[in-house]
Amino acid sequence: MATVTAFIRVSKKKVEKAHVRFRLRDGRDLQLFHKSKFEINPDHWDKSKQEIKAKILYDTKKRAEFNQNVASRKKLILDVYNKYPDKKNITSEILDIEIDKELHPENYGLIEKPEKFFETFLDFIAAKKMAESRKRAFMVIYRSLQRYEVYKRITGPKAFTLSLNDITAVTLRDFERFLIEEHTYFEKYPKIYEAIPEVHKTRKSPKPEKRGQNTLNGIFVKFRTFFLWAIDNGKTTNNPFKAFKIEDSVYGTPFYITIEERNKILNTDLSENPTLATQRDIFVFQCLIGCRVSDLMKFTRDNIINGAVEYIARKTTHGNPVTVRVPLNSIAKQILDRYKDYKGPGLLPFIVEQRYNDYIKLMFEKAEITRIVTVLNPTTRQAEQRPINEVASSHLARRCFVGNLYKQVKDPNLVGALSGHKEGSKAFARYREIDEQMKTDLVKMLE
């Protein structure tokens, strides 16, 4: 009957580490040897018990892991030997190869080598046709998953690795818990954030912010898109989202500024702050054409065609491209004429997006437009009352355009043709609730 023993071989020269070796004996005539990658300090090795000495101080977890590795390798050697068909001609070299086949079957074509998770994620981003802003959003998820993997290694098994084939609904729920609690980990595990920072161009702090349910929903919708792509491209057959429900996002009713408030902003004297005055003009121009800020930043004089601004909405560039054409009214033309001598690369002297949002808040304050509006807190999902100047941003210009047009014509398809919203857009549907006067007019129809 074959037996396996573990031992270490140490030369006369004192060493701090030695590899654990194994000897298989079957009767008097057969001895086979195998050298493992397990290492141990010779002073810690118990020769008789073939494990770490019980009486020395040693990390409990590392002791258990090492002893288990030695025991598992002894069993593997026996299993490999017992199922080898030609035991008379087996050698130590053959034994090593057969052991390696068991440990790394993918290297011998015995199983398909699994796709590496993060490499596949980057392949997806590179292969998928999408706007740069959407690629950046996927990279945010990519970094979150990297931090999650490191976090799991710190708090659990050190060998934890994300794998396309092994991610389950349980993994997704654990990742969701990590995302919810991550803002509390920054001080606990600073090395994670030194290695993989939460990169956000609008914030200087590397600390992740507390995430609301809508943010989580957006992350998992994008993560699901990656998995569906991986399945379609033969990277995996595993779909953990079959057993994982993504909640519906909740949005508040859009608020917007009236035409009178827009004109008040335009006519406010900002001569003491020329930069603010310039960004004010750009904001009002955006209110008059209704584009997204990502489109506005890309405009040049070439986008002005026969008295209208014409562009392909970037959000639709890689789906079903939508060409939007918005005729310029007299105010929009006056603003463009004011900057006719601008020699920069864009249509108007636009600054970086975050500074633009800061200036928008300031111009509202200067124009004394500070009325209270109801907004939905993205983290608590509760309604809050805030001064409009504190929550104003570039998207408010788009709302101004859509809201005021919808108030006049009440035709979503007509307004959508000017704003670039797709027919039946869920986002556009929210504008049906934005005007109290519209509700009053409808009720009067019953008189």
Query: Residue 21 pLDDT > 80, yes or no?
Result: yes
Provide the total of helices (H) and of strands (E) in the chain, helices listed first. Answer: 17, 10
Average pLDDT, the chain: 86
Q: Which two tokens stand for residue 6?
A: 């573990």
* Bridge partners, 327 (sequence order): 308
pTM over 0.85: no
Contact indicator for 335, 285 with CB cutoff of 8 Å: yes
Phi-psi domain of 109 (left: phi exceeds 0; alpha: psi -120 through 50; beta: other): left
* Amino acid at the residue 52: I
Residue 281's φ and ψ, nearest 5 degrees, are -60, -40
Contacts with 8 (C-beta within 8 Å, 6 or more apart), sequence order:
18, 19, 20, 21, 40, 42, 45
Strands across the sheet containing 18-26: 3-8, 18-26, 30-40
Q: What's residue 382's pLDDT? A: 79
Calpha distance 125→134 (Å, rounded): 9
Calpha distance 333→60 (Å, rounded): 76
Residue range 259-444 in CATH 3.40.50.2020 = no
Query: What is the location of CATH 1.10.443.10 in the chain?
Result: 259-444
Q: pLDDT confidence of 69, banded at 50, 70, 90?
A: very high
Q: Give 342-370 pLDDT, tens digit per residue.
A: 999 899 999 888 799 999 999 999 999 99
Instruction: State which of 1-15, 314-328, 404-418 shows the largest mean pLDDT.
Output: 1-15
* Mean per-residue pLDDT, 321-330: 88
Q: Give 84-110 pLDDT, tens digit per residue.
A: 988 888 999 999 999 998 888 777 766
CA distances from residue 177 to 65, 258, 328 in whole angstroms, order as listed: 28, 41, 49
